[in-house]
Amino acid sequence: MKNKLNGQSVKNLIIRNAHIVDPANKIDEVMDLHVKSHRIVKWGKDLAAEDAEILDAKKLHLLPGLVDLHVHFREPGYEHKETIESGAQAAIAGGFVACVTMPNTKPACDNAQVVKYQMERANVLNFNIFPSGTLTQGREGKKISEMAEMKDAGAVAVTDDGGWVMDSGVARRAYEYAATYGLPIMSHAEDHSISVNGVMNEGIVSSQLGLRGAPNAAEDIATARDIELVRLIKCHLHFSHVSTRGAVEMIRRAKAEGLPITAEATPHHIALTDVEFVKYDTFYKMNPPLRNEKDREAILRGLEDGTIDAIATDHAPHALEEKDRDIEVAPFGTIGLESAFGVIMTELFHGRKWKLEDIVRKMSLTPAEIIKKSNFGRLKTGEQANFILVDTEKDWVFAEEHVHSRSFNSCFYGKRLKGKVLHTFVKGYQYAL
Amino acid sequence: MTGAEKQILDEGGIERVLARIAHEILERNQGTSNLALIGIRTRGVFLAERLQKKLFEIENKEVPVGILDITLYRDDLSEVGPKPEVHETNIPFDLKGKAVILVDDVLFTGRTIRAALDAVIDLGRPKVIRLAVLVDRGHRELPIKADYVGKNIPTSLQDRVTIHLKETDGVDEAVISGGSKV
Amino acid sequence: MTQTAKTQWTQKDLLGLRDLSVAEIELILDTAKSFSEVSQREVKKVPVLRGKTVVNLFLEPSTRTRVSFELAEKRLSADSIGMASGGSSMTKGESLWDTIANIEALKVDIIVMRHGSSGAPHRISNYTKCGVVNAGDGINEHPTQALLDMFTLREIKGKIKGLKVVFVGDILHSRVARSNIWGLTKLGAEVVICGPKTLIPWGIEELGVKVIHDVKKAIDGADAVTLLRIQMERQNETLFPSIREYASTYGMNTELFKYAKPDAILMHPGPVNRGVEIESALADSPQSYILKQVTNGIAVRMAVLYLLSGAMKNEK
């Protein structure tokens, strides 16, 4: 059994000598930070406070808490895979302080009741959940869902996620309706009529392994259509988990035109390619699938030139007995919250010499901006403490013991990582990891 | 490996021994009628062919020769480890009613002959099966005895007795090498 | 006793030809040659696998392959039992792990496995000490079928290197073709694939084969032509317009077969759809080696089971 992470209520704490990196506040230096009664009081050099506990953070970095635009917490309906509680634990273990949950629950999150339920559960658990609602009722791609009420209840975006709206006429109306209420549309761009039998990326590896593939074209066609709808409607559309070089290029051009488009990529599409499939391990079966090296390089370039704004995990827990089924019927998805920071630090900070500030932008500041949550992605005096302390040099190997999700389907087991979250502060509670 | 080798039969010796065995076979079988030779792979096959030639020289009759691969009948197959190579068995005559002379180079534990007996019987029902070997070095582990022996050589268990034949090794000889090296 | 040290078989499983070296493939083919004699005896049995238990776990319908394996096992004196599943729970794979655990608890030595899901035997092999023989997995591989095809080719043509071997038909769904591609290219044959684009997997050229859509050009100068069955049961999407058009464009007949070499041989993994991929007269012609393939299948499977029986990790 996993150890439950227990948060300690922060009453009066000074974090000493942390290297704070907060691009929104243009901070990049060693300072102290004072938290009192769950809230950030101030930061600066040599802070003093009567009776405050001291946390020596020498050699550690203090960053705004990570924000994940794409998680599946499965509640209500699939509690055997994940609950909001276990999902929050996984998030905290990975340094995430806020998550946008996907609406493919059962029932689907297509009305204000489910949105409220999810937020209340998170509230009780002292975690920040910002639900996304569906674009269409029941994610059936037919009728527009009750977005106005969902927005009032707290939904931050709308999406049918895995059920991309195939009917362009319905999509047009749903996008227009979402735009009416300023809700970003999150698009899992996939033309299902093309990807229909695909178990993995269609390419040389799928031909070698005797598995049916889903070609890049499935994502590219859907991306192209959605870009045209944005051109028509001028709605804010956010491309979820971009995986193909074609999609990156189209998004780049659309953004250059000034269309209101944002995009994210996942740690697994950043770090891995379809060759991982060689052992027929269903833990590498995700949607969109791991693509080839050219696609991976395009994602990296897209991240670096600003085409891709954010990194999101697409944390998709599934029970082992579901993943153990035949490769053709096993569900798509990998968990990602616990490994994300380590993977990104390894691949981008150490591997491609990114600055820590860039990591904060992609994993915290920009995601918060996309869902218009200005209290996140930055330090803010008077607001609840939502930040993390990280060791950028810590070597570790990702293993089951690091998983706090209810499910274990990670594609990163055995991966050597450099960089780890040591403390997560969420809503004024401190979790030592 | 040639350090402590000692020759126990040379080319002439092998020749003489085979000639004697051929005569013994004919005497005991009273001619070549129903006679058949079966050589056990690898060197038994060549010895069988040589015996066939000798028999022809004496009787002017062609005695059929078969080739037997006993791998599939070995009693150590259930042990874990890579399996020995299997070669073809080729018995181009009906065994029924035949007087079969099994031919092998060295008789040692008797396990090869046990396997050969099973293999032959699976292939048909000869009238009799007799055994001819070039060298009997003792240390039997099964109640098996040769009917025709070229040469009896007392050995220690550690010794190695090797037959070299022109067909496989370019030279005809039997050598013994001491296994008990320090 | 002084056997020359050639390649030895050390693998626990036979999952596919993708994973085999040239020497290992040749070892199987050579061993099969020795075993082919056993099936010609009056007493078609050798005591090689005495005391070994083989389970034939067929989770997808099969007659030919299953019978061939069963005969091979019996001729090796193994105790063999069959487990088939028509039920939906196992074909969905839900209890496959439990099934394997149960089989292992019965102290079985080798599992011969047919499964509708690509990679299923590969996944299972990591979880069991038993040797696993892939008798066909999804659309991935069918190694013993390809080995018997290669065995037949070698028997008739005396070699494989340099031969032009053509596969016509549904390559996309053909584990037979895929295994043959791995094996034949390793042994130096020229492999040509022929069929409409819808039936050819993306990027198959990367595996070292040539794709020619025109059937006459494809079989021009061929030493061997293997026709693949149109697998009606796998067509859940439209990949060609009609059987009639398929038969008229890719169906093999005596006239068309003249484009191959005069001594070319015709093969088919069976079962044959007469009148679809092959004209009846051609199937029964002297150039057709379809039945020879069936006979050779037993020797090849005996060889595989024999070689595997030494590498099992079964502790006693």
Q: Mutation test of the interface with chain C: which of B67, B85, B167, B168, choosing the one with the most C Cβ atoms within 10 A?
A: B85
- Minimum-distance CB partner of B73 among C3, C37, C47: C47
For residue B124, give how far its alpha carbon lies from the nearest alpha carbon of chain C (Å).
Answer: 8
Q: Does one domain contain both A422 and A324? A: no
Q: Is A197 in Cβ contact with C237 (below 8 Å)?
A: yes
Q: Does one domain contain both A44 and A160? A: no
Kindly list the residues from chain B whose CB atom is less than 8 angstroms away from the CB atom of residue C2: 162
Contact, A64 vs A396, CB < 8 A?
Answer: no
pLDDT score of A16 more than 50: yes
pLDDT score of C94 more than 60: no
Q: Which of A346, A370, A394 is the last residue of a domain?
A: A370
Assign C256 a pLDDT band (cuts: 50, 70, 90).
very high
Could you tell me which chains touch chain B, where touching means 3 or more CB pairs under 8 A? Answer: C
- Minimum-distance CB partner of C309 among B83, B122, B162: B83
Q: Mutation test of the interface with chain B: which of C28, C40, C48, C155, choosing the one with the most B Cβ atoms within 10 A?
A: C48
Q: Which of A320, A346, A370 is the last residue of a domain?
A: A370
Q: Which of A370, A393, A417 is the last residue of a domain?
A: A370
Which tokens sit at B57? 């020289």
- The pLDDT score that the predictor gives to residue C314 is 43
Strand ranges of the sheet holding A157-158, from the earlier edge strand across to the other edge: A66-71, A96-101, A128-133, A157-158, A185-187, A237-239, A261-265, A310-311
Q: Comparing C-alpha atoms, which of A78, A61, A21 is closest to residue A421?
A: A61
Count other Cβ atoms within 10 Å, centred on residue A77. 14
Q: Is B84 in Cβ contact with C46 (below 8 Å)?
A: no
Q: Is C178 in Cβ contact with A203 (below 8 Å)?
A: no
> Do at least 3 CB pairs under 8 Å connect A with B?
no
**Residue A377 placed within a domain:** no
pLDDT score of C90 more than 80: no
pLDDT score of A1 more than 80: no
Which amino acid appears at position B162 of this protein?
Answer: T
Q: Does one domain contain both A74 and A55? A: no
Q: Is A280 in Cβ contact with C118 (below 8 Å)?
A: yes
CATH at residue A236: 3.20.20.140
- Minimum-distance CB partner of C203 among A207, A210, A211: A207
pLDDT tens digits along B130-173: 999 999 999 999 999 999 999 999 999 999 999 999 999 999 99
Mean pLDDT of A243-269: 98
**Residue A204 placed within a domain:** yes
Q: Please report the number of interchain residue pairs, chain A to chain C, with beta-carbon separation below 8 angstroms.
A: 76
Q: Is A210 in Cβ contact with C140 (below 8 Å)?
A: yes
Q: pLDDT averaged over chain A?
A: 97
Which residue is catalytic, options A314, A324, A326, A395?
Answer: A314
pLDDT score of C312 more than 70: no
ipTM confidence = 0.90
Q: Does one domain contain both A228 and A133? A: yes
- List beta partners, residue C113: C57, C134
- The pLDDT score that the predictor gives to residue C95 is 67
pLDDT score of C1 more than 60: no
C-facing residues of A in 228-287 (CB < 8 A) are: 279-281
**Residue A134 placed within a domain:** yes
**Residue A202 placed within a domain:** yes
Q: Is A430 helix (H, G, I), strand (E, B) or coil?
A: strand
Show the domains of chain C with their CATH numbers.
22-141+295-308 (3.40.50.1370), 143-290 (3.40.50.1370)
Q: Mutation test of the interface with chain A: which of C13, C88, C126, C140, choosing the one with the most A Cβ atoms within 10 A?
A: C140
CA distance A235 to A176: 7
Kindly list the residues from chain B whose CB atom is less than 8 angstroms away from the CB atom of residue C77: none
Assign C7 a pLDDT band (cuts: 50, 70, 90).
confident
Which segment of B78-87, C193-202, C266-275 scores lowest on mean pLDDT? B78-87
> What's the burial of B59, exposed, middle or buried (CB within 10 Å: 0-12/13-18/19+)?
middle
> Do at least 3 CB pairs under 8 Å connect C with B?
yes
Q: Is A326 in Cβ contact with C92 (below 8 Å)?
A: yes
Q: Does one domain contain both A154 and A239? A: yes
Q: Is B83 in Cβ contact with C9 (below 8 Å)?
A: yes
Give, for B54, the enclosing helix (H) or strand (E): helix B43-59
Assign C274 a pLDDT band (cuts: 50, 70, 90).
very high
CA distance A38 to B14: 101
Give, for C110, the enclosing helix (H) or strand (E): strand C110-115
CATH at residue A16: 2.30.40.10
Domain ranges of chain B: 14-75+86-155
The residue of chain B nearest to residue C313, with distances taken between CA atoms, is: B80
The predicted model scores a pTM of 0.90
Kindly list the residues from chain C whose CB atom is less than 8 angstroms away from the CB atom of residue A289: none
Q: Mutation test of the interface with chain C: which of A192, A199, A209, A216, choosing the one with the most C Cβ atoms within 10 A?
A: A209
Mean pLDDT of C241-257: 93
Quote the number of domains for chain A: 2
Could you tell me which chains touch chain C, where touching means 3 or more CB pairs under 8 A? Answer: A, B
- The pLDDT score that the predictor gives to residue A272 is 98
Kindly list the residues from chain B whose CB atom is less than 8 angstroms away from the CB atom of residue C3: 84-85
Clarify whether A314 is annotated catalytic: yes
Q: Is B80 in Cβ contact with C41 (below 8 Å)?
A: no
B-facing residues of C in 4-33 (CB < 8 A) are: 6, 8-10, 30-31, 33
pLDDT tens digits along A338-397: 999 999 999 999 999 999 999 999 999 999 999 999 999 999 999 999 999 999 999 999
pLDDT score of C3 more than 50: no
Residue C96 touches partner A, C-beta closer than 8 Å: yes
Domain hosting residue A95, numbered range: 65-370
pLDDT tens digits along C193-231: 999 999 999 999 999 999 999 999 999 999 999 999 887
Q: Does one domain contain both A72 and A50? A: no
For residue C155, give how far its alpha carbon lies from the nearest alpha carbon of chain A (Å).
Answer: 28
pLDDT tens digits along B25-53: 999 999 999 999 999 999 999 999 999 99
pLDDT score of C91 more than 70: no
For residue B81, give how far its alpha carbon lies from the nearest alpha carbon of chain C (Å).
Answer: 5
pLDDT greater at residue C100 or residue A29: A29
In this prediction, what percent of chain A has a pLDDT beyond 70?
100
- The pLDDT score that the predictor gives to residue C4 is 47
Q: Is C139 in Cβ contact with A324 (below 8 Å)?
A: no
Q: Is C97 in Cβ contact with A212 (below 8 Å)?
A: no
**Residue A49 placed within a domain:** yes
The residue of chain C nearest to residue B115, with distances taken between CA atoms, is: C47
- The pLDDT score that the predictor gives to residue B2 is 47
DSSP string, A205-218: HHHHHT--EE-HHH
pLDDT tens digits along C21-68: 999 999 999 999 999 999 888 889 999 999 999 999 998 888 899 999
**Residue A233 placed within a domain:** yes
Long-range CB pairs of C63-69 (<8 Å, 24+ gap) are: C63/C271, C64/C270, C64/C271, C64/C294, C64/C297, C65/C114, C65/C135, C65/C136, C65/C142, C65/C144, C65/C145, C65/C297, C66/C114, C66/C135, C68/C294, C68/C297, C68/C298, C68/C301, C69/C112, C69/C133, C69/C135, C69/C144, C69/C301
pLDDT score of A258 more than 80: yes
C-facing residues of A in 348-407 (CB < 8 A) are: none
Q: Mutation test of the interface with chain B: which of C6, C10, C31, C34, choosing the one with the most B Cβ atoms within 10 A?
A: C34
Q: Comparing C-alpha atoms, which of C308, C315, C275, C272 is closest to residue C290?
A: C272
pLDDT score of A290 more than 90: yes
**Residue A407 placed within a domain:** yes
- List beta partners, residue A129: A99
CA distance C13 to C125: 7
Q: Comparing C-alpha atoms, which of C206, C214, C165 is closest to residue C187?
A: C165
Kindly list the residues from chain C whose CB atom is less than 8 angstroms away from the CB atom of residue A274: none
Assign A2 a pLDDT band (cuts: 50, 70, 90).
low
Return phi, psi of residue C280, to 5°. -55, -45
The structural architecture, per CATH, of the domain B14-75+86-155 is 3-Layer(aba) Sandwich (3.40)
Contact, A376 vs A97, CB < 8 A?
Answer: yes
Could you tell me which chains touch chain A, where touching means 3 or more CB pairs under 8 A? Answer: C
Q: Does one domain contain both A51 and A70? A: no
Q: Does one domain contain both A303 and A395? A: no
- Minimum-distance CB partner of C34 among B69, B73, B78: B69
Q: Is C202 in Cβ contact with A202 (below 8 Å)?
A: yes
CA distance A180 to A235: 9
**Residue A3 placed within a domain:** no
Kindly list the residues from chain C whose CB atom is less than 8 angstroms away from the CB atom of residue B77: 48, 309-310
